[in-house]
Amino acid sequence: MKIDDLMVQPGPDVFYTKEFRDTLEAHMAYFRSSPDVKPLDVDPLQAEVYAGDLFGFLQYAGVEMKYHWLTMRLNNYFSPTEFGPGVTTLLRLEPRVIEQLRQTQKSAATGTITM
């Protein structure tokens, strides 16, 4: 196995920009009540193991890195260190919803409409 195969891919840069995160924040109330939000069960042992490391837990759970920040905010955390014992479920937004919003923002920024 190559060491490169062990690297976690962060995804497109847009997911880490202030502009895109501001857009996500503006939609947070909608996201939290959306039928596209699904529960992600947290095993109590894993909540202990990853105490103070939400992003580590999300990586363990198979959530792509580009969605970590949104998942943190969707669960009303301001820091990944807020995760820990006592957490039994996290909210997770379906990736297609995030990708649609990203595409819409990209189209608006370039002035093109894609269908």
**Mean per-residue pLDDT, 11-32:** 89
110 or 17, which is more confident: 17
**Mean per-residue pLDDT, 98-114:** 72
Give how far Cα 7 sits from Cα of 1, 2, 16, Å: 12, 10, 18
User: 68 CB contacts (<8 Å, ≥6 apart)?
Assistant: 54, 55, 58, 59, 80
Q: How confident is the model at residue 6 (pLDDT cuts 50, 70, 90)?
A: low
pLDDT value of position 115? 43
The rounded percent of the chain whose pLDDT value lies above 90 is 68
| Beta strand ranges found along 1-115 (DSSP E) | 37-41, 89-93
pLDDT above 80 (res 86): yes
**Mean per-residue pLDDT, 99-109:** 78
Q: What whole-number distance in Å separates Cα of residue 106 and Cα of residue 97?
A: 14
Question: pLDDT per residue over 42-77, tens digit each?
Answer: 999 999 999 999 999 999 999 999 999 999 999 999
Enter the pTM of the model: 0.83
